Amino acid sequence: MTTDQSATGGPHPAADRSAASGSDAPASPSSGPTNSTDAARGNVSDPAGPASDTGGGTAPTAGAAAAARSSDKDPATGDARGTSGRDNDRPGTVSGTGDAKAGDAPNSGDARTRLGDAGTKPGDAGTSDDVTTDGDVKAAAGDGRAENADGRDRKDGAAEDGAAKAGTDKAGTDKAGDSKESGKAEEGGKEAGKPDRWAAFASAPEPRPSWVRRAARAVGRVLIHEWTLATLGSLALAVLMTWPTLRYPLHTLPQDYWDPSLQAWQMAWSGHILLTNPAQLWQSNTFFPEDWSFAFSDTLLGYAPAGMIGTGPEAAVLRYNIMFVLAHALATLGAYALARQLGAGRIGGAVAGVGYAYAPWLLAQAGHLHVISNGGIPLALAMLARGHGYSFRHGYRPERRHDGWVYTGWLVAAWQLSLGFGIGLPFAYFLGGTVVVATVTWYVRRTWFWAVKRPFGRRLLAADLVGGLLFAGVGALLAVPYFTVKEQHPQAERTVGDIGIFSPPASGFFTAPAESRIWGELHEGARAALPWHPEMTLLPGFVLYALAAGGLFFSVWKLRHRLLLLAGVVVTMVLAMGTRFFDGTYTYVPLFEHLPGWSGLRTPGRLMLWTTLLLGLLAAGAVSAFATRVREICAERIPSWPGPWLRLATLLPLVLVIAEGLNVTPHPVVPQQPAAMRTVDGPLLVLPSSQNLDQPVMLWSTTRFQDVVNGGSGFTPHQLDEVRRVTLSFPDQTSVDYLRILGVRNVLLMRDQIAGTPWEVTVDVPVDGLGITREEIGQVVVYRL
């Protein structure tokens, strides 16, 4: 709609006014003010007649056409209003037909267009009735200014009209030049002394919380975060699944007290020597007088910070038990993080984490903390994938790259390598192979297949280079002592024949160890058929097998990822069989002969760790797809809240995997430290001596860390073999002279362990003439050479 109204402030050229009104009538300027009522009457009676200008001039209007347009409906209210008449009912100006309503003749000339009808109260022009809302009305001036067609500043224009009306009503004269200012001043004066009566109904302002409440809210947000709950859940589950490890943590060790005693000593030694004399780290107090004796087996060097806390055997046992539980928790959390990063749901990630940490075959490794401590592998992979913005479900997303996660991932990988090469060496080769494959794939796709070059970034490249060099540097530094030991003790190197002794048959993948609560007794016959069942019972779990098989057909992973995971499962299983798979000629033996350090791995069955991880990822894809389908079904229900049976259905795979990991692992009491070990100086020899008996002796030495000839490891040095052979006749002149030459000062003979040995007869033989003294300290006979 168009209202033929000129803007306030003075006359405009006749041609402009004629164009604005759409009329061909000539415009005659007026030199003085015109009576509003007369002008209104004249304009209504003659559609083409002149209209008074607010600035004192006259302008032609559209006549009947404007009156007809004034009867359009107001889109906001649905009522037909004469917008032209109401919007332009200012003193000295009447355009259109006045208050013509819908249904009235456009030329009726309603006589109600009085000054009073125009809204004489200040501010009336700002109401919704006085402003057109269809967005088509223009307050057209002669030069086309002050347009309101787009709906902007309508209220300002209406307030100007209202102010002009109020000023004219009071003064009786036309004051167009200052009508807007006078209207605003009068309206402000009217409302200045009044409080807003609607303020009482407004909502009260929210009080600013105190710092205590803000801190409590921040802590609450942290506590309910997914990763906080995952960490706490992993810890709680670890305590329950390893129980009763923490029932008597000062006096018992899981499975047996032989290898756990050795590893408890390793943590204690690394912490002690790094605080006192780091240069002597590899020259331990055991296997005296051998050099590099700390490298005779995996060192658990990454646990050295824990070894700095406490002294003595009880502290070492407590430390071992705590790290044993934490290792299970870290394995659960690491595999969960990897599955989640790759795109699995929460329940699927939990299945992967629990299946990886509590697979039945790992129950046979409860006495090998360096095997149980494998959580750094999936955790490092998850961090590296996160830093590179990669997942199975979404592929490579450059916007999610973060070099901080890459640095952290490489650091965690280096820490995992420091726990031992038995698990860390295959991990190192896997990382190296992954880097090579990823680099080649990236280059080929970027060069030949992708039209759009997807970014990688210099910072991410620098993080990979620095992190990779750090990882390689840690590996090289740790490898130097082991290569030195290999040169000094050739018998420490494994042979293909040694590998064959520990290589499991295919039936081992379906046989559970005796420590399994569910399958232990049922598989007793199958274990009897295995030559060395502690390293050959490799069942990862029948539930995990089933879920992984389902994940090949129903999964959130893409088909190519499922096939890749399946290929990994097959390859790692074949390698875990060692020489049992066609004599390992094209599988394990080439690795054994050509990869540096691989010949130091005597138990190929421990590669089952990678099989378990890959099976867990396949299972996570299946469980995640199942949980997604359950949510879709629930969304179709009214109300869309899953019932208890549907909830139970999503949790059932997790419950079954947990149940299959239950154990009956024994927790024997550690032999008590003899009082003589707290008082007798070294170098000393404890008799009887053997692989199993020497490992508790290493633990007893953690009070003073005096030099001891005893020691247990993956191999036995020739020197220790010779000592054990010569001392079978101790005390006699030959053995005494041999020990003196070796540098031994004291010999401790354990009365409670000599039954059935030569010392059972010679323990009470007089030592006169040998130049030595004899002393009884409890159950120990101390010979001072």
Please, what sign has the CA dihedral across residues 572, 573, 579, 584?
A: negative
Helix (H, G, I), strand (E, B) or coil at 469: helix
Mean pLDDT along residues 561-572: 96
Radius of gyration for the chain, computed over Cα atoms and rounded to the nearest angstrom: 46
100 or 595, which is more confident? 595
Mean pLDDT along residues 295-314: 94
Determine the Cα–Cα distance for residues 85 and 41; give it in Å rounded to an integer: 12
Determine the Cα–Cα distance for residues 43 and 118; give it in Å rounded to an integer: 16
pLDDT of residue 447: 72
Amino acid at 253: L
Residue 251 has φ and ψ, to the nearest 5°, of -130, -15
pLDDT of residue 193: 59
Residue 191 has pLDDT above 60, yes or no: no
Residue 295 has pLDDT above 50, yes or no: yes
291 or 452, which is more confident? 291
Q: Pairing mode, if any, of strands 684-687 and 50-52?
A: unpaired
pLDDT of residue 192: 54
* pTM, rounded to two decimals: 0.74
Residue 777 has pLDDT above 70, yes or no: yes
Specify the range with the lowest mean pLDDT, choosing from 30-34, 212-216, 410-414, 430-434: 30-34
Upper half-sphere CA count for residue 454 (Cβ side, 13 Å): 17
Helix (H, G, I), strand (E, B) or coil at 59: strand
User: Which DSSP symbol is given to 255?
Assistant: S
pLDDT of residue 645: 77
Within 277-390, where are the H helices? 304-307, 313-342, 346-357, 369-372, 376-387
